[in-house]
Amino acid sequence: MKLQYESIAEIVEAAEKAGKKISEIVLQEQAVALEQTVEEVRSRMEKSFDVMCEAVKTGLDPNLKSMSGLTGGEGGAMMKYATENGGISGTFMTKVMARALAVSNCNASMGKIVATPTAGSCGILPGCLVSMCEDRGVAKADAVMACFTAGAFGMVIAKNASIAGAEGGCQAECGSAAGMAAAALVEVMGGTPKMCGDALAIAIANQLGLACDPVAGLVEIPCIKRNASGVMIAVSSADMALAGVAPKIPVDECILAMREVGHSLPEALKETAGGGLAATPTGRALKERVFGKVKEE
């Protein structure tokens, strides 16, 4: 069966019929489509995962600053807090947030990242999967394979809704990333293909309507901190799916709802920096600090 990536239901059905993980059928299908061996395609994904790991390390530098000077050090501060305090949500979750922040810090400082699915949401999938390897003993090979599941789900979202903040708001970026990460987490925890789809549905439902309102038009404020929120939603969505908590609204309908909500958002809330936090007095002042005073038309 050749996957068309038209729906999550199609992917889940194909995996169930084959008695395999979603990642396994996606890897095989991609190898055929790219006219490469399975090992060649898997190796390429492993290289991407290595970039994610390196972005975490780079971003954890407490002295790292963004090009604008508006942000920097959030990942390092959070990791120190996790190590010394443990945090309200526990050491593991606090470290997951720290790593998500770190990758976003790396991006803001012009470091190398993997857009998963975008630069604005680049910390969510790495924050989850790198943490599972570092703190929960998940094998690197399993984390790499889970990236195929996340990628396939991202392809469906991109086709049927959007992964661009300029088109669908931040729900399309951090919302999609949280859903992709939730599905990947379910797989590495031994969940079924259907549970992967359920996790995606729950994550999307919990971020419908999220605006894209970058201060000064930069992927820093509030984008970096939304990556930390995104991993919290990803982990909680995965846990609910693994516990058998049903999303009630089928995953593909959730994706279509995200598309409709995105179309309904005003232009000011779709990456134009014309509304939301970007339009607050402080948001405007920060823009002026970076770019100088701009004469209004």
Domains of the chain, by residue range, sit at 8-288
pLDDT, residue 2, reads: 77
pLDDT, residue 296, reads: 56
Q: Which of 230, 211, 288, 261 is nearest to 93 (CA)?
A: 230
CB atoms within 10 A of CB 267: 10
- 197 touches 204 (CB < 8 A): no
Architecture field, domain 8-288: Orthogonal Bundle (1.10)
DSSP annotation string for 9-32: HHHHHHHHHHTS-HHHHHHHHHHH
Q: Scan for tokens 């031994």, then name that residue.
A: 190
DSSP class of residue 221 equals: T
- 150 touches 116 (CB < 8 A): yes
C-alpha count within 13 angstroms, C-beta hemisphere, residue 94: 16
pLDDT tens-place values along the chain, 297 residues long: 578 899 999 999 999 999 999 999 999 999 999 999 999 999 999 999 999 999 999 999 999 999 999 999 999 999 999 999 999 999 999 999 999 999 999 999 999 999 999 999 999 999 999 999 999 999 999 999 999 999 999 999 999 999 999 999 999 999 999 999 999 999 999 999 999 999 999 999 999 999 999 999 999 999 999 999 999 999 999 999 999 999 999 999 999 999 999 999 999 999 999 999 999 999 999 999 999 986 654
